[in-house]
């Protein structure tokens, strides 16, 4: 199980680490520091969607690879309850254990996305109000505490990089990520309430969503090798952008 894999890695990790909060069902949301502890810091978040739990393994790869310039925090498994549900019962589930899509639950034009619904289920449910979920509260509070200069969110799939929201964003970082991965920067419309969106609009910092893996793959992706184009993405990004 991916939660147990991340927990075991946490227990053996010798660097700076912490628990940023707990899921609805009480599972820890782990964070690992990599690189320098001085100067401005990044946050890189993974597996906010349950069926994209393979991104947690990508996070562990990024931690092991490390960064050569600057430092920051890697959060491998934002949605541990949903990932467990995906692995054991509902393989296409995206939401958390309460049926709320965490990447629709941030305070950035909440509830205005094209596919948004208030009906709980596997995807697209926005919750009762922004930050109604334990997992989004944890990520919000940690982000406000760290005050990163940039955030990255690793998802699957499509080999695209989203960098803009509501007319704001920094394309330069998207171009660096494109060079590192071979993916294409893209502006998307009709979505709202995501972590990237909130970071750009409310914190006014650059933020990026990286959709890892070919669109021809089927959810849930189970082999890390399918995300190999992203193996050095964090390292290269911080070297050239940080």
User: What tens digit of pLDDT does each residue of 86-101 get?
Assistant: 999 999 999 999 999 9
Q: What is the pLDDT of residue 201?
A: 98
Structure confidence at residue 152 (pLDDT): 98
Closest by CA position to 76, among listed 215, 182, 234, 226: 234
pLDDT of residue 19: 98
What pLDDT sits at residue 157?
Answer: 98
Q: Which two tokens stand for residue 66?
A: 């490390």
pLDDT (0 to 100) of residue 237: 98
pLDDT at 15: 97
pLDDT of residue 176: 98
Pairing type for strands 160-162 and 41-46 reads unpaired
Q: How far is CA 80 from CA 2, 73, 113, 121, 212, in A?
A: 8, 18, 24, 16, 19
- pTM of the prediction? 0.98
- The residues of the chain scoring below 50 in pLDDT are none
Q: The tokens of 77 are what?
A: 């498994």
pLDDT value at position 184?
98
């Amino acid at each position: 199980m991916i939660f147990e894999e991340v927990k075991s890695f946490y227990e053996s990790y010798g660097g700076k680490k912490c628990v940023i909060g707990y899921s609805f069902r009480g599972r820890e949301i782990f964070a690992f520091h990599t690189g320098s502890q001085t100067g401005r810091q990044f946050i890189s978040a993974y597996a906010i969607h349950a069926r994209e739990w393979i991104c947690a393994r990508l996070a562990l790869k990024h931690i092991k690879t490390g960064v050569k310039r600057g430092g920051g925090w890697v959060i491998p498994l934002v949605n541990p309850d949903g990932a467990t549900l995906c692995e054991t019962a509902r393989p296409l589930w995206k939401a958390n254990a309460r049926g709320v899509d965490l990447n629709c639950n941030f305070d950035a034009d909440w509830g205005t996305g094209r596919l948004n619904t208030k009906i709980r289920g596997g995807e697209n449910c926005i919750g009762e109000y922004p930050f109604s979920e334990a997992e989004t509260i944890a990520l919000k509070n940690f982000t406000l505490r760290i005050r990163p200069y940039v955030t990255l969110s690793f998802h699957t799939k499509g080999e695209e990089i989203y960098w803009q929201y509501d007319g704001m964003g920094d394309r330069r970082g998207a171009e660096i990520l494109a060079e590192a991965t071979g993916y294409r920067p893209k502006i998307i419309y009709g979505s709202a309430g995501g972590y990237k969106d909130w970071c750009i609009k409310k914190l006014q910092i650059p933020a990026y969503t990286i959709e890892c893996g070919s669109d021809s793959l089927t959810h849930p992706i189970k082999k890390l090798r399918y995300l190999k184009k992203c193996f050095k993405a964090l390292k290269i990004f911080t070297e050239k952008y940080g």
